[in-house]
Structure 1
């Protein structure tokens, strides 16, 4: 018992120290970066507010959501706080400005997060369709994967084609160098990551797992995650020479060795440092590697930061 308490005390000290590290870094270097002052007048149509003839797919810093379809997962006030990473619906996230969705499914096509499940993936796709019908120039990256420990939904690729076929941007390595105006009217880049079924083939309507990569760091320590994200990003080639998407997640994750297991208070340790992260990318000369930037509980300022650095890229600021 004494050993357990001692570990808890040390863990709390580590968390406090790491939180202070980020506070001190923010105070010492600030959060100013090219495009930092830009605020899109309409986040629902923020791509349309940029120069679509200059906005190539690889120059976009894509604001994304982590575990996107968890707004109604589990039982309210009981299991939901342990798995909910977004409070907004898929449609509301897209209106807020999110352009990358992270969807996990199980064999019955229901969205899940670990052992907890929520509504059918049809809800996700219907809300994507609603958003697409209300906008004209917004491109979405839709990542759908079979959750660990589950089987793939039967004939899921055929199901996705039935739901999204007219919107899907076919797999093509040249797409990264194309402008949004060249890609339109197609609107959805779909990455399908089955666990047991055959991976999508080149040239088809879907992209395989190799087209959206990340380095997941499973920690609840904010400075550890922050620095690890920077180090892994530094190892990536610049977006101009990459033929895949690379994601950085501005999140930390509850751990079983800490009494705080609810997602929100844990991920809040890093949530407010998205602008600091972009600033550090610029300071360390790795801003040309930043591409997909995801978060829990997406908000307007996170989107503004991603859109601002995107605007600066296409204007060569």
Structure 2
């Protein structure tokens, strides 16, 4: 028992030390960068505000959400705090400015996070289609994948996606990266479908395969460790103008089973407020031309503004 408590004390000391490290980094270098003072007049239509004819797909800094469809997962006040990564519905996230969705499914077509399940994928599709119907120029990256440790949905699931999203889908095509939003319209959704074992249909290349959305996720609840890991892996990528895939950085940390603090919000708050610091450090460390998808738990308006402001600076040649 004594060894267990000693380990817990050391873990808490490590967390405190890493939180201080990020705070000092922010105090020393600040969070300013080209575009940091920009706030889109309408987050629901921020791509339209920046002019679809000027926004090249590979120059967008895409605000994303991690475990996007977990707003109603589990039982409220019982299991939900251990799996909920967003409090907003998919529609509300899109209205706030989110443009990359991370949807995890299981064999029955329900959204899940680990062992907990929530509503059907139908609810996600309905929210996406509602948002699309209310906007004209917003492009969405919709990642749908089988959750780790779960079985794939049956083969008819892919047909369901085709039937629901068919005319909206931007077909898999590496030339898309160099096109502007205006050149892609009226198609609106890049759907990345990632089953574990099922082969992905190549009919008309409607879905983008897993290799077109990459990341280097590490399982840690230590914020400075995650921050520096994100920076390291990002710096190893090709610049966005030479890349033929999307690369995601997640400004998140993850509860650990051997730590007494296991509520997602409490843990992820250790890094949540350092999104702008990460962007500023990308400039300082000469890898800002590699940043593309930037995602977070419990997405905020400020996080969206940070990404949109950098996008604006890029299309104006300032970043």
Calculate the TM-score normalised by the size of structure 2: 0.98
Provide the residue aligned with 2:181 in structure 1.
Answer: 180
CA displacement, residues 75-108 of structure 1 (integer Å, 9 cap, x when unaligned): 0000000000000000000000000000000111
Once residues 118 and 206 of structure 1 are traced to their aligned partners in structure 2, the CA distance between those partners, rounded to angstroms, is: 24
CA displacement, residues 181-208 of structure 1 (integer Å, 9 cap, x when unaligned): 0000000000000111103438510001
Any runs of at least 4 consecutive aligned residues in structure 1 with deviations exceeding 4 A, and if so which?
none
In the TM superposition, residue 170 of structure 1 has moved relative to its aligned partner by 0.5
Q: Does 1:37 align with 2:37?
A: yes
Once residues 237 and 221 of structure 1 are traced to their aligned partners in structure 2, the CA distance between those partners, rounded to angstroms, is: 27
In the TM superposition, residue 54 of structure 1 has moved relative to its aligned partner by 1.7
Once residues 187 and 314 of structure 2 are traced to their aligned partners in structure 1, the CA distance between those partners, rounded to angstroms, is: 23
In the TM superposition, residue 38 of structure 1 has moved relative to its aligned partner by 0.3
CA displacement, residues 153-211 of structure 1 (integer Å, 9 cap, x when unaligned): 12111100111111000010000000000000000000000111103438510001000
Once residues 10 and 203 of structure 1 are traced to their aligned partners in structure 2, the CA distance between those partners, rounded to angstroms, is: 54
Q: Secondary structure at the match of 1:128?
A: helix
Provide the residue aligned with 1:8 in structure 2.
Answer: 8
Q: Secondary structure at the match of 2:49?
A: coil
Once residues 34 and 224 of structure 1 are traced to their aligned partners in structure 2, the CA distance between those partners, rounded to angstroms, is: 26
Provide the residue aligned with 2:166 in structure 1.
Answer: 165
Once residues 238 and 199 of structure 1 are traced to their aligned partners in structure 2, the CA distance between those partners, rounded to angstroms, is: 28
What number of residue pairs does the alignment pair up?
317
User: Equivalent residues in 2 for 1:87-106 (5 A)?
Assistant: 87-106=87-106
Once residues 147 and 16 of structure 2 are traced to their aligned partners in structure 1, the CA distance between those partners, rounded to angstroms, is: 33
CA displacement, residues 240-293 of structure 1 (integer Å, 9 cap, x when unaligned): 010000000000000011100000000000000000000000100100000000
In the TM superposition, residue 151 of structure 1 has moved relative to its aligned partner by 1.7
User: Equivalent residues in 2 for 1:73-112 (5 A)?
Assistant: 73-112=73-112
CA RMSD in angstroms, aligned pairs only:
0.8
Provide the residue aligned with 1:120 in structure 2.
Answer: 120
User: Equivalent residues in 2 for 1:1-317 (5 A)?
Assistant: 1-154=1-154, 155-201=156-202, 204-317=205-318
Contact 1:172 1:202 in 2 (8 A): no
CA displacement, residues 205-241 of structure 1 (integer Å, 9 cap, x when unaligned): 0001000000011000000000000000000000001
Once residues 199 and 231 of structure 1 are traced to their aligned partners in structure 2, the CA distance between those partners, rounded to angstroms, is: 31
Greater Cα shift, 294-303 or 1-10: 1-10
Q: Secondary structure at the match of 1:49?
A: helix
Structure 1, unaligned stretches of length 5 or more? none
Contact 1:225 1:252 in 2 (8 A): yes
